[in-house]
Structure formats: structure tokens, C-alpha cells
Amino acid sequence: MLPYLAQATSSGDNVRNTIDSLARTPLSEILVFVLACTAIRLLVAAPLKNTLAHQRGGIYPLLKFVNEALDAVVYAAVFVFMIIRPFAVQTFLIPSGSMVSTLLVNDMIVANKFVYRTSDPKPGDIVVFRPPVWGVYPDQVGADGEPKVDFIKRCIGAPGDLIEIKKGKMYRNGVQIEEPFVKYTSTMDQVNFTELSPDRVASIAIDDFKLVEFNGEVIPLHTFGDYSNTRELSVPKYVLDPSDAEVLRAKPAVKVPPGHYLMMGDNRNNSSDGRYWGLVPRDSIIGKSEAIWFPFARWRMTK
């Protein structure tokens, strides 16, 4: 934990990175930090307790300050990292433009982790979750084989929903739904995004999508023109042989299965999401985005 504290500077990016690092500090490191602070406090408390009133000069005020500061730090660490973070709220840094313009790169959001302890995600919710391991880059996988990053996307389909995209139009349970939050953009640096003109959008927003059953599994089938789940359109796990893709295009769409959710980014042509890596299990859901809190100029509720 101390290395994270040492990273703090006046730079906006470093402030964001420091806060994000602290928010992700493993509980094991928090426990070591708390135990170290407690041990130092006990060492300091002994001479304080045994110092007579008329001898409380010299180094005594400094030791008293250290004792009280460590006391506050220990209580704060326990309260924030062992109660608030696991059960209530947590801050997250937005690392990509997949949710532009709802969320911008380097926005910091507050996620409500309690809400999904008492309810389930609903279509339209902006959700923080752990992605499937096949949906991330190799350097985003930890030593335990699990992703060490979190994704944030919009929930498009809940269990039992039949989700289809036809010629770029979204349908839920056979009814076309409006998506005023969806944008199509271009970018040169993956940080700054420019919204495309209506004519340009019309030329690229022609993809199809559905969930299909294949070899006993519900998989995403994303089609653009004559191509479905090619290496350019999908993650390796779901790349299909052309003959399989042709058969699956003719199959009916299936519903989101129990215990799973379909997530997509608002920046529809610049988002790696459920169209490419599939469904998110319920136990991978972390929380619901409630607000942007930093930078302060962008403070707003998210929806």
C-alpha cells in the first residue's frame, strides 16, 4: 500500500492512477499495512502511557501525534477497505472509450456494490463486472489465470431476453428499442473520439447479432456483410469455420440463458463487448455505476 501512496503528485493523471491503485489494493496488503501500523502504535503507546505529566515535553508531543495518527489510519483502513469497499461502494477509473460519450477515458466513477446484493441488473444499467478471461489481452491476466481488470458496459440483455441486432437496429424480445446513448465514432489515439456523420454511420451500422446454440453452448454470432465471427470480428474462442458460420446464420436466435447477462458499449463501433466475447455470469457482476465524481467538472449521475 505504501508504494501507492508514494505515487501521489499534483498531476491529474497521477491523482487518478493513485486513487485507482488504492481502490484496487488487495485485502492481503491492507491487512499487512494495518498490522504494521498497529505494531508501531503499540510500541509508541507504551512510553506514552508511562510518561509522567511533568515529563511530557521534548519528544512526547511528537510520539502522541504519531500514536493518534496511526490510530486514525488503522480505523480508516478497516472501515474503508474491509466494510465500505467490499459491501457498499468503490471507485473505478475508466480506461477506454467504449462508453463514449456517456463515460470518457479517465473519468472516475462511483459504483454501487450493494444494489446487486438485493436485486439483479436490468437492461439499461451501466454495470461494472469481471470480464471473461478470453475477452482480455494476455497482459491483463494475473498470475492466478484470472483477469486483473474490470470492464464497464451497459446491460443490454437479462436472463430470458431475446436480443438481436438487425442491420444495426437493436431488438429486445422482438421489439425494436431506442438507444439514444449509442454513438459511432472515429479515433486516432483511443483517448479522443469524434462522432461520425449520419452518412458515415449509415455505412457502417449495418451489422447483425444474435446468440445461438453451438456445441451445447450459447455463443455470440456477430455478422458484418458476408462474414461472421472471423478473426477480425471475434475473440479467438468464438472464431468459426466459415461452414459453421453459414449454418449458424440460418439458426434462430436464442434467449440469454439463466444466470447470465449481455453487455455492450455505448460507443458501439469502438467497443469490445458481448458481441465478440459473449455473456457475463451473474457472479462476475461487481456493481452499478451511479455517478462520475472526477474530474469535478464532469460530475453527474450516470444513466
- The CA-based diameter of the chain, rounded to the nearest angstrom, is 91
Which of 44, 37, 39 has its CA nearest to residue 72? 37
What per-residue string of b and e applies to 229-238 under the rule 16 or more CB within 10 Å gives b?
Answer: beeebbbeeb
**What residues are labeled active site?**
98, 153
CA distance 248 to 254: 11
CA distance 295 to 292: 8
Instruction: Report the run of H or E that residue 111 belongs to, with start and end.
Output: strand 108-112
CA distance 30 to 39: 14
